[in-house]
Amino acid sequence: MNVQEIRKDFPILEETVNGHPLVYLDSAATSQKPRQVIEVLQKYYEHDNSNVHRGVHTLGSRATEAYELAREKVARFIRAKSAEQVVFTRGTTESLNMVAYGYARQQLKEGDEIVLTPSEHHSNLIPWQQVARTTGAVLKYIPLQPDGTLAMEDVKTAITPATKLVAMAHVSNVLGTIHPVREIAALAHEVGAIMVVDGAQSVPHMPVDVQDLGCDFLAFSGHKMCGPTGVGVLYGKRELLDVMEPTYFGGEMIDIVELHSATWKDTPYKFEGGTPIIAGAIGLGAAVDYLSSIGMEEIRSHDQKLVAYALERLSDMPGLSIYGPKSGVNRGGLVTFNLDGVHPHDVSTVLDAEGIAIRAGHHCAQPLMRWLNVGSTARASFYLYNTESDIDALFHGLQSAKEFFQHAIG
Ligand code: PLP
């Protein structure tokens, strides 16, 4: 993998920010977009733009073909058995809400258990709270080990015959922990429960094979994997998608409409009411082509090298606390930290003055912040276009931040 060549694909990396070359370390929030994706979007709007599945004119056919081809590309990317198991959504949040609304709210009843971890992103937490509120189901949490990993004995204790649904992130967006979702899915299936995987931080960064993982639903976002904003995916096992209710009702998702009733199309169209996310899906198809041309194994090992380097460089810095596993081996490409006595927003502001973009805040994981006993943290996250020199820039930026605030505090 030639990172210097890859960097040339990303026009935004030529930007200067506050007089410094941009060092973009916020890909877990959203990734940058390569020229190959931007050009496909531009070509679509310049040459093929039309609504899909409706008109019989030439542009309509071209747009429909491109949209359905994108579905096939995504299906191949995650090794789904068929393209019909890929539903285009607005992103991970919408995908998870659709499962909660259309599947869990219909299928779960009072006393059924939903098993989660305390490190979930709010979008894989609040939908299940809502399911519990409306059905009487109970939320159960697998405790975290001190480094944020899960102990299999705790997973086994949490999953019982009352468990109907297990939901967790494949990779934590704060701690970088990679959860053993294949093993956990097998335990869920032993008691007849389904496994919902939040793949927002895994699908962009590592090979993900839904058949190998055995997950029942997988949710992810296009914008974190070099694709446009506004598009994401819900993958589901066919038999579950068939019983799942649509969330949105209206044009295109119907079969026959009477004055007092209506019937739906088959999966996946019954879930894509209204004009779908046509350009977004086509852009995501281009992103999948781009990532595949580099290779997900290569991207994963690049992430691993960067995170190991970042842990090595940052762990010796006095006053810097790093959260999550201390080794880069079984960890996603991000490092979350705090600098003693300095608010993460201030850290981020000082870094921004040097052109370095990181994320600061609660990362949509307030219960996890409470577990870490902090209000917020800083996070640097890496992707295929980052280099060790970006991490060196972060290291020097953090040193400047430390000196600046030591002087300011006196
Ligand atoms: N889950 C995880 C682990 C995430 O990191 C994110 C985004 O940061 C989401 C869910 C939500 O993704 P989106 O905002 O694209 O719906």
For residue 224, the ligand 1 atom closest to its alpha carbon is: 15
Question: Which of 3.40.640.10, 3.40.920.10, 3.40.190.10, 3.30.565.10 would CATH assign to domain 37-293?
Answer: 3.40.640.10
Phi, psi of 108 (to 5 degrees): -90, 155
Q: Can you give the pLDDT at residue 410?
A: 52
Q: Is 364 a catalytic residue?
A: yes
Distance between Cα 364 and ligand 1 center (Å): 8
Compute mean pLDDT per 10 residues along the chain, 410 residues long, and list them. 96 97 98 98 96 86 96 98 98 98 97 98 98 98 95 98 98 97 98 98 98 98 98 98 97 96 97 97 98 98 96 92 87 94 93 96 93 95 98 95 75
Note the CATH number of domain 295-409. Answer: 3.90.1150.10
Q: And the tokens for 76?
A: 């191949």
What residues does CATH 3.90.1150.10 cover in the chain? 295-409
pTM across the whole model = 0.97
- The alpha-helical segments, DSSP class H, found in 172-295 are 181-190, 210-213, 238-243, 278-294
Catalytic residue among 66, 80, 193, 364: 364
**Which one, of 264, 261, 277, lies nearest residue 94 by Cα?**
277
Q: Can you give the pLDDT at residue 409?
A: 56
246, 52 Cβ separation under 8 angstroms: no
For residues 30 and 381, give the distance between their C-alpha atoms in angstroms, rounded to a whole number.
10
**Which one, of 27, 52, 34, lies nearest residue 269 by Cα?**
52
Task: Give the DSSP H or E segment for 66.
Answer: helix 58-77
For residue 123, the ligand 1 atom closest to its alpha carbon is: 10
Distance between Cα 98 and ligand 1 center (Å): 15
173, 363 Cβ separation under 8 angstroms: yes
For residue 30, the ligand 1 atom closest to its alpha carbon is: 8
Ligand 1 pocket list (CB less than 6 A): 91-93, 121, 123-124, 169, 173, 198, 200-201, 221
Phi, psi of 183 (to 5 degrees): -65, -40
What residues does CATH 3.40.640.10 cover in the chain? 37-293
The length of the chain in residues reads: 410
